[in-house]
Amino acid sequence: MQIKVVKNILDASRRIAAENRALFDQHGIYVINLMSSPGAGKTSLVENTIRTLQNDFGIGVIEGDIQDSYDAERIGRLGVPVVQINTGGACHLDGNMIRETFTNFDFAAIDLLIVENVGNLVCPAEFEIGENAKVMLLSTPEGADKPAKYPLMFAESKVLLINKIDLAPYVDFDLDKARRDALAINPDLEIFEISCKTGTGLEQWLEWLRQKIASVKKR
């Protein structure tokens, strides 16, 4: 009897992510993997992003949640294709779950794919799903000590959106410390201060995203 050993399950995960990525590249789709703590405002950001960009670009959305489909219903009202992944307890999305959604999308009509991960500041940062960029939100009520306490998320992200900036005065959020600690972990991190509620700062984020979509645009 021969016993087969999967030496590194992460290798399989990385291979699937690379395959996803190749497929997205082939179709000229820019893919963001959106991550944050629960309740930091991911779905609100997705809504705001779609409303502004949907006249110019084809947008698709994958919603990741442990259970339920509330977020997909919110996004579906905006008239864009959306697929809900229920992880059934798992604390993050992986490349294989993303691949399972592909039959639901017409990739020829999509320029931007937004993947909203499970709300969790730890586990999602460990997994690639085939994204061009990990984008994270930190909301001001969470506190400015989060970069120092959850460094991997900040290290892996290309963009940090500091959300709920309108609440900063009420929660004693030390913006300088958050910026300084985040950049110490990841000097290349793009940081935007935003409020999905008031609209503050969204223009800069959307301009960054427009440029990225253009950079991979369909020929």
Q: Which is nearer to a copy of itself, 133 or 148 (CB)?
A: 148
- State in angstroms the smallest separation of the CB of 46 from a copy of itself: 15
Which member of 10, 11, 18, 39 binds a copy of itself (CB under 8 A)? 39
Q: Which is nearer to a copy of itself, 4 or 219 (CB)?
A: 4
Which member of 22, 171, 184, 214 binds a copy of itself (CB under 8 A)? 171
For the chain, what is the HEC assignment? CCCCCCCCHHHHHHHHHHHHHHHHHHCCCEEEEEECCCCCCHHHHHHHHHHHHCCCCCEEEEEEECCCCHHHHHHHCCCCCEEEEECCCCCCCCHHHHHCCHHHCCHHHCCEEEEECCCCCCHHHHCCCCCCEEEEEEEHHHCCCHHHHCHHHHHHCCEEEEECHHHHHHHCCCHHHHHHHHHHHCCCCEEEECCCCCCCCHHHHHHHHHHHHHHCCCC
Which member of 6, 7, 38, 188 binds a copy of itself (CB under 8 A)? 38
Which member of 150, 154, 192, 205 binds a copy of itself (CB under 8 A)? 150
What x-and-dash track marks residues 66-105 binding a copy of itself by CB under 8 A?
xxx-x------------------x-x--------------
Q: Which is nearer to a copy of itself, 169 or 187 (CB)?
A: 169
* Contact region with a copy of itself (CB under 8 A), list: 6-14, 27-35, 106-114, 141-149: 141-149
Q: Residues interacting with a copy of itself, by CB under 8 A? A: 3, 37-40, 65-68, 70, 89, 91, 118-123, 126, 139, 141-143, 145-146, 148-152, 164, 167, 170-171
